[in-house]
Amino acid sequence: MATVTRLYPDMPGTPSVTVPVHRKRGTPASEKRSALLAKVHLGKKQLGMSDEEWRALLADRWDVESSGALDARRLDELVRHLESLGAVFTRGSARARKGRASRKDIPAALEHDPHARERYMKKIEALLAEKGRAEGTHMPWGYAVGILKRLTGGAIRSLDQADEMLLAKVVAALVYDARRKGRYAGTWGE
């Protein structure tokens, strides 16, 4: 855990005290810092550095024992240094890209169905209503929007902006949840 030394100038003769730094979680700054820490550890793994080599690098360049003690600016410097040593950082995972269907894999008859969007929206509505009934509460449309945001990494923030492919993924997530919890998921296409 990172520490900060606080001095008490109003009390003569009082030694400095080292206290832990408390970082707020869930803020954009903490999320950026978490992402940078993940990149740092990925780079360390890619370069095959041992713990001794890693700690020596941190001690020599940044005068710390652990990458967790670095702030966001210094973590960014560390990421750039790891890139200069040969680490490669790409967006997303290869596993996620491997199974993804491309637009050319979708039959033209399904791609241009004028009623597909309407069917997906009705299915989402029915699955939300069933989830709410089973849990004894109202399940808002925001739940489906949250699934959509998670699927797109926050790029799409409304069901109105989603295409049929994304709506199908939202339906799949809701059906998966229903089956996992033993609720009725309905039959698709009827």
User: What confidence tens digit (pLDDT) does each residue in 16-72 have?
Assistant: 555 455 556 667 777 888 888 888 888 888 888 888 999 999 999 889 988 888 888
Question: Is 188 contained in some domain?
Answer: no
- Please state, as a whole number, how many other Cβ atoms lie within 10 Å of the Cβ of residue 147: 20
pLDDT for residue 135: 84
Domain span at residue 132 reads: 101-180
Q: How much is the pTM?
A: 0.41
Domain closes at, from 60, 85, 110:
85
Retrieve residue 175's tokens. 């059906």
For residues 5-12, give the mean pLDDT.
Answer: 53
Say yes or no to pLDDT of 115 above 90: no
For residues 137-155, give the mean pLDDT.
Answer: 90
pLDDT for residue 190: 43
Question: Is 185 contained in some domain?
Answer: no
One domain, residues 168 and 118: yes
Question: Is 95 contained in some domain?
Answer: no
Question: Is 133 contained in some domain?
Answer: yes
- Mean pLDDT (the chain, rounded): 78
Residues 6+ apart with CB under 8 A from 110: 116
One domain, residues 18 and 68: yes
Question: How many structural domains are present in the chain?
Answer: 2
> Can you tell me the distance from the alpha carbon of 144 to that of 150, in angstroms, rounded to the nearest whole number?
10
One domain, residues 110 and 135: yes
pLDDT for residue 157: 87
Question: Is 189 contained in some domain?
Answer: no
Residues β-bridged to residue 6? 17
Q: For residue 112, give the nearest of 55, 58, 41, 163 by alpha carbon.
A: 163
178 or 11: whose pLDDT is higher? 178
One domain, residues 12 and 59: yes
Q: 166-180, pLDDT tens digit by residue?
A: 999 999 999 999 888
Say yes or no to pLDDT of 136 above 70: yes
Say yes or no to pLDDT of 109 above 50: no
Compute the C-alpha angle 129/134/140, nearest 5°. 35
pLDDT for residue 69: 87
Residue 68 DSSP symbol: G
**What is the percent of the chain where pLDDT is above 70?**
72
